[in-house]
Amino acid sequence: MRGNRIRGHGLAGYIVLSVFAVPTLFPIYVMLNMAGKDLFQYTLRPLLPTFPYHFENYLYAWQFLARSFFNNLVIIGVSTTIVLLLASMTAYALARHSFPGKRFVFYAILCVLAIPATVIMVPQFMLVVQLGVVNTLFAVMLPYAAHQSLVIIVLYTSFSQLNESMFEAARIDGAGHLRIFTTIVIPLSKPILAAMAIFEVWWLWNDYAWPSLVLSSARLRTVALQLVTFVDGMAIPQPGQEMAANVIAALPIVLLFLFSMKTFISGITSGAVKL
């Protein structure tokens, strides 16, 4: 209720934000509107709504995208699981223990954030060639699984704030790392782990450049790759079906977002602010 204290300013805010909301949401309107058009409707009226809305466009696009959804599921599922598991192990070691070389390890992880992804794309690609996994899902999953520096740093700050007395009690009970990890760290850090999972999924779902470099087989394409192929590769123009494909591609993230807005926002902001 902070706004109440300064009067006479609410209206201007509403007006400005409402006005700018129109262009902000315009691409989403374009997407949903065009996705329901057949070629005739598109040629006649590309911008204004037309009836009937052709839901069958979605079915057509889905047939083209189905396989790539499965690929994304595998890639993102596997790599996010690995990232969360390994990153939380490392963050636990860093946050709750002191050992020789701790500072070195910490800064080695931190410095990765300064290495730009695009710049190491060439040698990363050559490495994948040397490992002989070019054009397999491993070529995507392995570097994605290594993409954990940011998660480690965020989890480190979070784990550091946990109360030491619990750890002490557990240690007196004779608990090992595994038990402390599964009975104390994980249960107490569920929200931040969930946020980090969402952050990783969001980041991986959007990635286009890396998979386009290492996945050249049609059967391995990710959703982002398949989408560009769908839009560019058609002999007969199908703007409706193409946009329907876009809507379908955006849907998982939209759903994830709608059902977990709070976690999503905290996940993304915590991920970025700590950068």
Partner 1 sequence: MMDKPQVLAGHRSARRMRDVRIYLLMLPSLVLISLFFYYPAVSGFIYSFTRVTTRGAVWAGLANYQRLLADTRLIASFGNLAQIVVFNVIVVATMPLMAAVLMFRMRNPRAQYAFRLMYVFPMVVPMVVMIIIWRWIYSLDGGLNILLSLVGLESITRAWLGDRQLVLYAIMFVNFPWMGGLNFLIYLSGLQSISEELFDAAIVDGVGPVSRFFLIELPLIRDQIRLLVLLTVIFWLQRFELPLILTDGGPGWASMVPGLRMYHSISRDFNIGYGSAIGTVLFILVFGMTMLQMRLGRRRAAADNR
Partner 2 sequence: MNHTHVSGRALLTALVICLFVSGFAFATGAREEAGMRGELSIAVWGQIEADPNHPVYSVHELLQEWNGMHPDLRLTYEYNGGQTVTDRFTWIRTRMLSRTLPDVVMIYFPSDDFYDRDLLYDLAPELDKPNPYSTNAAWRDDFPQEAQVVADHMQPDGSLYVAGFTQSGNVGVTSFIYNQDIFDEVGVSVPRTWTEFLDIQAKIKAAGYIPFHQPTAGPLGWLVDWPLWVLKWQLLEDVAAEADINPPHDQISQYELVRAYKRGIFTPNDPRYQEAWRLLKEWSQYWQEGFLAPPQGDPFVEGRAAIQHMMTLWIPQIAANPNVTFDWGTFYQPQLTRESTRYATGATPRRVGNSGAGASGSVFFMIPQTTVQRGRLAPSLDLLHFLTAPPQLEYWCDNQTIPCFDPGTSVEDVYPDPVMQRQMAGFFTPSAFQNGVLNLSFGHASQDTGTQVRKLVQEYLGDAITLEAAMTELDSILRVAYDELIASNPDWVIDW
Q: Closest separation between CB of residue 249 and partner 1, Å?
A: 6
By rule CB under 8 A, what string of x and - marks binding of each residue 77-106 to partner 1?
A: ---------xx-xx-xxxxxxxxx-xx-xx
89 binds partner 2 (CB under 8 A): no
Q: Closest separation between CB of residue 270 and partner 1, Å?
A: 9
Note whether 35 and 57 are within 8 A (CB).
Answer: yes
Note whether 239 and 34 are within 8 A (CB).
Answer: yes
Note whether 223 and 205 are within 8 A (CB).
Answer: yes
Residues with Cβ < 8 Å from 39, sequence gap 6 or more? 237, 238, 239, 240
Write out the binding residues for partner 2, residues 31-50 only, by CB under 8 A: 39, 43
Q: Is 122 exposed, middle or buried (0-12, 13-18, 19+ CB in 10 A)?
A: exposed
Q: Which helix (H) or strand (E) holds 164?
A: helix 164-172
3-class DSSP state of 215:
coil
179 binds partner 1 (CB under 8 A): no
- Of partner 2, partner 1, none, which one does residue 49 interact with (CB within 5 to 8 Å by kind)? none
By rule CB under 8 A, what string of x and - marks binding of each residue 227-246 to partner 2?
A: -xx--xx-xxx-x-------
For residue 213, give the amino acid letter.
Answer: L
Q: How many chain residues are in contact with partner 1, going by CB under 8 A?
A: 103
93 binds partner 2 (CB under 8 A): no
- Residue 27, preceding bond cis, omega within 30 degrees? no
Write out the binding residues for partner 1, residues 220-239 only, by CB under 8 A: 223-224, 227-228, 231, 239
Here the tokens at position 241 are: 């079906």
219 binds partner 2 (CB under 8 A): yes
149 binds partner 1 (CB under 8 A): yes
Nearer to partner 1, 75 or 145 (CB): 145
Here the tokens at position 36 are: 């329901």
135 binds partner 2 (CB under 8 A): yes
Please pick, from the candidates 216, 251, 261, 265, the single residue that binds partner 2 as defined by CB under 8 A.
Answer: 216
**Which of left, alpha, beta for 101 (phi over 0: left; psi -120 to 50: alpha)?**
left
115 binds partner 2 (CB under 8 A): no
What is the contact surface with partner 2 in residues (CB under 8 A)?
39, 43, 98-105, 129-135, 215-219, 221, 228-229, 232-233, 235-237, 239
